[in-house]
Chain A
Amino acid sequence: MHTATIDDSAHHDEHPYGLMRWVTTTNHKDIGTLYLWFSFVMFLAAGSMAMLIRMELFQPGLQLVQPELFNQLTTMHGLLMIFGAIMPAFVGFANWQVPLMIGAPDMAFPRLNNWSFWLLPVAATLLIASLFVPGGAVAGGWTLYPPLFIQGGIAYDMAILAMHILGLSSIMGAINIITTILNMRAPGMTMMKMPMFVWTWLITAYLLVAVMPVLACAITMLLTDRHFGTHFFDAAGGGDPVLFQHIFWFFGHPEVYIMILPAFGIISTIIPTFSRKPLFGYVSMVIAVASIAVLSFIVWAHHMFSTGMPLGGQLFFMYSTMLIAVPTGVKVFNWLATLWRGSISFETPMLFSLAVVCLFTLGGFSGLVLGLVPVDIQLQDTYYVVAHFHYVLFSGAAMSIMAGVYYWLPKWTGHMYDETVGKWHFWLTTIAFNVTFFPMHFLGLAGMPRRIPDYAMQFEGFNSIASVGAIVLGLSQLLFLYCVVKCIRGGAAAGDRPWDGADSLEWTLSSPPPYHSFAVPPQVR
């Protein structure tokens, strides 16, 4: 395989220019770039929806959006952020970085790679277009629970189709990543010498292949319930609405780790670089990631404690959920030990990574609180849950993505980004994030349900604060856009290895790397 690539490399360098370069590209870097830009556009779209939601919730009473539109906005915000922004961003990283970090010339299946990207805009268009069909977009929450989901109009069928396409894209991407990692590593790179980012993505890809078909089953059953007279989720026909929740969360909980494991990989790359010290506990880190992945299959019903499970079920899922704290703790401790006695400097990627470690730990704590059945019964479906998963998904996943972008941007573009703008972006994002989401813990404890367009008087104070934070948080992301665009268009030359603590294979290539990454496979000691 390697020899074939070497022979062909010269003529593969010829590629169309302009728009056709991007439509027809089979190059892992081009496709990675497409993924990242796509996810950023979705991030802004879904973020704008969140800002509209927060503006409505600035004070009690209905001001800007009526309840129908409000429910559509919360649902679309969730779907677009998860399937449009976070997941594609990590696939973008995988495309750019996996071949570079394992010393491969490209991904294993370049044409499949092209397909798995170009399915995304189709699905996103379907989803966003559903906002404008009669009856409006899906409004039953991103969890799609029936029977509410059975009540909706044509938009619901569009959403099901869109999610099928997104699932197909994810599975194709995952197969590509698994094959690349298992077959195309440079000579000498054994599994236990792979960079941590590659390890986390390998395990994530297996999770994707395992659970995306489960989601496909669940939404197909919804579709046949809606149109073809089946009663999977309809008690009147012998079905059970709660069955859907079991199937959905059997997908949904591993999905959470699909969004956080690659983030762990990015953090585990950046912290050693800026501590100028090898990652502490590499082996235990790999074991921790693998055990988180395995455990993720036996905790799903902790999302359903208030549906009325038998005692034995509640206890089982409580204990298994608490167990997840152990490998997660190991990861945090390992990051700390990596920092300890390092030679630490605070460039933007490092600042983001340190914030991720702190804030993700808070999200882990609130997860532990929610894992205990009695407390969960009190807090399920409140703003406490909203706070919890934003600490995990924004300050865990999204901020890791930002960290990763700043970290590899010099490699990808050949230019250094503007450190001042980057730091402004970091501080504004971190402060505004906490102003937005920390008060939501209090709102949930005080008894404010989630997904309501209007609320009782005693919740006004913290809601106003959260809304102000959300607007600042949203607008700060324009700084990110500015910084990235500025870096692409020019700036100080980055050199091959701008970070003196970095030691994985991508830094042995030029910045930006040649169109075909490793024409000659590097030798790993």
Chain B
Amino acid sequence: MQGDTLCEPDRRAARASEVAAGVMCMLFGCAGASRADYALNLPPPATGIARQIYDLHTLILWICAAILVVVFVPMVIALVRHRRSAGHVAHRFHDNLRLEILWTVIPVLILVGMAYPATKTVIEMKDWSASDMTIKVVGRQWKWEYEYVDEDLRFISTLSTPRSEIDNASAKNANYLLEVDRPLVVPTGAKIKLILTASDVIHAWWIPAFGVKQDAVPGFIRETWFRVDEPGTYRGQCAELCGVGHGFMPIVVEAVTPERFLSWKTEQRTQMAALKEASTREYTLTELVGHGEKVYAANCAVCHQANGGGVPPAFPPLDGSKLVAGPAGDHLDRVFNGRSGTAMQAFGPQLSDFDIAAVVTFERNSWSNRIGDMVQPAQVAALRKQP
């Protein structure tokens, strides 16, 4: 969960943790430890705020270590020297006003010392004024939607780890569960303001290396900000329990130079135009099923499962489903508008006409479903025009 480069002290820390790992492995004889790293501290900070948090944490850790010594050294001395088995006879004192006042006042002073730097950082974290760019983040079960406000650029970012890796059917790649189909791309050096909300339940947007974690609350707008200095890929996850797919909604941010960001934007525009274009064509059954399979894997398989079996009763099976076997119009309507009061969300606002047409067609012609008909993007467009 860090930038791809490690600076010198971090490398030293990494070596230290390898040694620790070696010791742990000898102690516990655990297999497969070779591919895991035993990170002992916060990830290397990528923003100024994360740096401050890192330093604050280090400071408190040292203070706690000092208190630990002050508290436990006398305790160990007492446990060794004042044992009954060592023949020590108990004294009967049970009060010492001066001592008791002392160990009330000193902690207060230490706490004030901690509160001062913490307060400074909190104030800075809460200051999202004078930002260079605003991005709207919407949490959905279980994906993130990003919208570059004032840029007419909007896309959805979902987990791209193949199901077979999760089910242990194929080897896991290095970014297992921390990879998405479309990362959020931001320019380095710019103050990025995020405005967050959610469409269903509470989610939390979190990149450890940024020191940013903010709940996305349905029906409300929350704000936070970050400024990345170094180009790189930064990875995080949804941090608030949001249902079955909670462990499977990662966040990936790619920080690129401002020039590279401009060209990325142009690319996106062209791609979006192509997507719009794709939604105006007619397709064959094979084309629709082929594309629909990909859309299904990215959007539907978490609940309805790759084999269409679902997890009844919360997530009904699509294989042999009455709704799928019924008229295509009803089936399309359910996918487009969702079903309120259940986890079935409305995909109309999330997917393109082509995507929706393809996934409905795929569901009608997969597993044991052999309906044989199809839905064209034009039908979805017509549904979209309805009030």
Contacts and interface: CB of A to CB of B under 8 A. Distances in A.
B43 A67 contact: no
Given A135-B313, A333-B103, A374-B53, 18 more contacts: A62-B168, A140-B241, A141-B241, A242-B220, A275-B82, A276-B84, A282-B95, A306-B204, A329-B104, A330-B103, A333-B100, A340-B82, A377-B211, A380-B213, A435-B28, A446-B1, A447-B237, A449-B247
Contact of A68 (B174, B178, B244): B244
B245 interface: yes
22 contacts: A71-B246, A135-B314, A140-B243, A148-B241, A153-B314, A322-B115, A323-B111, A330-B100, A333-B71, A343-B82, A343-B84, A343-B88, A343-B89, A344-B84, A345-B83, A374-B118, A374-B122, A375-B118, A381-B213, A445-B42, A457-B174, A464-B30
A68 B61 CA distance: 37
A67 B245 contact: yes
Contacts of B211: 374, 377-378
Contacts of B244: 67-68, 71, 139
Contacts of B222: 307-308
Contact of B100 (A61, A141, A281, A358): A281
Interface stretch (A85-93, A261-269, A310-318, A403-411): A310-318
Interface in B219-247: 219-220, 222-224, 235-247
Given A284-B100, A345-B84, A368-B64, A378 B53 contact: yes
Interface string B1-43: 1000000000000000000010010001010110111111111
Interface centre among A153, A280, A338 (most CB of B within 10 A): A280
B57 A369 contact: yes
A148 B94 contact: no
Nearest to A465: B28
B158 to A, nearest CB: 16
B284 interface: no
Interface stretch (B72-80, B355-363, B376-384): B72-80
A62 B166 CA distance: 6
Contacts of B91: 277, 341-342
A515 interface: no
B82 A339 contact: yes
Interface of A: 59-63, 66-68, 71, 134-136, 139-141, 145, 147-148, 151, 153, 234-236, 240-242, 275-284, 306-308, 311, 314-315, 318-319, 322-323, 325-326, 329-330, 332-334, 336-346, 354, 357-358, 361, 365, 368-369, 372-375, 377-378, 380-382, 435, 442, 445-447, 449, 451-462, 464-465, 468
A369 B78 contact: no
B36 A378 contact: no
B322 interface: no
A60 B170 CA distance: 12
Contacts of B224: 308
Nearest to A458: B37
B266 interface: no
Contacts of A333: 71, 100, 103
B36 A457 contact: yes
A455 B177 contact: yes
Given A62-B166, A381-B204, A447-B43, A340 B89 contact: no
Contacts of B239: 306, 380-382, 449
A282 B215 CA distance: 44
Nearest to B238: A449
A234 to B, nearest CB: 8
Nearest to B106: A329
A306 B88 CA distance: 52
Contacts of A461: 21, 24, 30, 33, 36-38
A442 B52 contact: no
B53 A61 contact: no
Contact of B201 (A59, A68, A148): A148
Interface string B114-133: 11001101110110000000
A277 B82 CA distance: 12
CB-based closest 4 A-B pairs:
A235-B219, A452-B247, A460-B36, A461-B36
B137 interface: no
B85 interface: yes
Contacts of B33: 460-461, 464
B274 interface: no
